Chains A and B, each alone.
Chain A
Amino acid sequence: MTETQHILHKSWQLKSAEREVKKVSAEVLKTLEDHDFGEDMVFAVHLSLEEAFVNAIKHGNHGDPRKKILVECLITPEKIDISITDEGFGFDPHGVPDPRCNGNLYKSCGRGVLLIQSYMDVVEYNGRGNCVHMVKYRNGEKIPTPEKKCS
């Protein structure tokens, strides 16, 4: 059995502030670039990381500066695997309104979850809903945009 080669395996415990995500993105994106993961993948990971981190601050920790956000990242030659955990009570990802429907199109927020689902190959939440786990494969085919769900 061969051992999986880890290019980067690291975790960060960060404050609930938007600028904090730069500590992660600077290292993660440079690692992806240095290992030729390609511009599209770097863009997808950057966008998903930013959106998930902002969701953890605003909807998870409700901007409470005393609460932390844990980011865990594993990069292998084949994929990047990121988990973001906040200290909130969690949410039901299926209960998020589809921002593409009717009046939602004109709302100024609520697009982060859709973008993460569109750009990452795997997106899953823990039972409590306070941890998002995202995977993007180097050679993964871009998944189609999630089907529109309007009531």
Chain B
Amino acid sequence: MGKINPNLSLEFRGPVVIAALTDEKILDEDQLQGLEGSFLPLIEQTPQIQLIIDFSNVKFLTSSVLGLLIRISKRVSEADGTLRLCSIGPKILDVFRITRLDKIFEIMSDVDDAMVGLKK
């Protein structure tokens, strides 16, 4: 498990990258820029990336984070990769449901569930 910025913790399980968001609250512009600055090079440097973003620690986020996830999703798609989100708590899941983003993201219950069907 390694950290590439203070807001993100990375684990590599074979070719699968598990990126755990470490902050309880994600709302600052600095946090968002830090995350974007970590995710985008990671996607560019990993051909056909299989990326799981783990929300276990996240208790609060704003719509700016949803925007970041859309941008990440586009980059992953352009790179012929796979993106899954997991371990999203009920309050945050409500935000995805209200905005209908639960229809465009693959949202799994936990990391093990998110690993199912990925190339190992």
Contact = CB atoms under 8 A, between A and B. Distances in A.
Say if A and B assemble together: yes
Interface of A: 18-19, 39-40, 43, 46-47, 50-51, 54, 99-100, 105-109, 111-112, 114-115, 118, 145
Interface stretch (B13-21, B49-57, B80-88, B97-105): B97-105
28 contacts: A18-B28, A19-B28, A40-B91, A43-B60, A47-B60, A47-B95, A50-B62, A51-B63, A54-B62, A54-B64, A100-B99, A100-B100, A105-B103, A105-B104, A106-B70, A106-B74, A106-B104, A107-B70, A108-B66, A108-B67, A109-B63, A111-B66, A111-B99, A114-B99, A115-B63, A118-B98, A145-B97, A145-B98
> How would you classify the secondary structure of chain B's contact residues: helix, strand, loop or mixed?
helix
B99 A115 contact: yes
> How would you classify the secondary structure of chain A's contact residues: helix, strand, loop or mixed?
helix
A1 to B, nearest CB: 39
A111 B103 contact: no
Interface string B102-118: 01100000000000000
Contact of A108 (B28, B71, B103): B71
Contacts of B28: 18-19
Contacts of B100: 99-100, 105
A144 to B, nearest CB: 10
